A = this chain, B = another copy of it.
Amino acid sequence: LRQGIAEVIYGAGKTTEQIAGISEAMLKAGQKNILITRLDKEKAEILSQTLPLHYDEMSRIGYLGELPEPDGTGTVLVATGGTSDMPVAEEAALTAEVLGNHVDRLYDVGVAGLHRLLAHLDEIMSAYVIVAVAGMEGALASVIGGLADCPVIAVPTSVGYGASFGGLSALLSMLNSCASGVSVVNIDNGFGAGYLASMINHMGGHK
């Protein structure tokens, strides 16, 4: 697996023509799986006419080729605080799936309703690497980080209003996590979290 330069296209701010051109060049070069992030529905529809594109509206992810068989060491768990965090979580989850990981989803388990989180303790304890996605107070990363012994990749989201200041509140909260093993990526950067989770999950090599 090379640095993602070849296989991942950041769709934001690229025209349909640019994306099609890059994709075709990659396919010609023998690339099998191509991940396109931040892809608008309209562009996806146009690309679908000429390319074998799968498109997921919630995460705004498109990919060319079939989802590979998972060949990582363990399971990547993607958890969210609320339902509004799902687009970012799905960006992480689908990224990890396209990169060959088995992914478990645990959505809407925010810390204000701890029982929902604790009801899934076994999934948390058995995950190989966890992506914790949350906006507003962002406490999910700390709580999960305190429970699990594996790396926790925290993704602050811009979900919220008022003093969430576009994700700043969750970002600061996650950076200040008192739990060990927690690190943070950019606000709304589901892709970055999914990619890193996959990298950790494949450090023993692709099976």
Please indicate which of the listed interface residues A110, A136, A146 has the most CB atoms of chain B within 10 Å of its own CB. Answer: A146
Check B178 against A82 for contact (C-beta < 8 Å). Answer: yes
The complex is assembled from copies of this chain, and their number is 8
> B184 and A128: CB pair below 8 A?
no
Across-interface contacts of A159 in B (CB, < 8 A): 13
Please tell me if A29 contacts chain B, counting CB pairs below 8 Å.
no
A28 beta carbon closer than 8 Å to chain B: no
Q: Are A189 and B162 in contact (CB under 8 A)?
A: yes
Cβ of A120 under 8 Å from chain B: no
* Cα separation A100 to B11 with both chains bound (whole Å): 36
Over the window 140-159 of chain A, the binary record of Cβ atoms lying under 8 Å from chain B Cβ atoms (1 yes, 0 no) is 00110111011101001011
- Closest CB-CB distance, A100 to chain B, in whole Å? 15
Contact with B along A1-43 (1 / 0, CB 8 A): 1111100100011100010000000000000000000000000
Kindly state whether residue A183 has any CB partner on chain B within 8 Å: yes
Return the chain B residue nearest A164 by Cβ. B176
- Is A83 on the interface with B (CB-CB < 8 A)? yes
Task: Please determine whether A139 and B163 come into contact, CB atoms closer than 8 angstroms.
Answer: no
Query: Residues of B contacting A18 with CB < 8 Å?
Result: 83
CA distance A189 to B204 in the complex (A): 28
Please name all residues of chain B whose beta carbon is closer than 8 Å to the beta carbon of A164 when the two chains form the complex.
Answer: 172, 176, 186
**Is the beta-carbon distance between B179 and A3 smaller than 8 angstroms?**
yes
Additional A-B contacts beyond A149-B199, A176-B186, A203-B203 (5; CB < 8 A): A4-B180, A139-B173, A180-B195, A182-B192, A184-B184
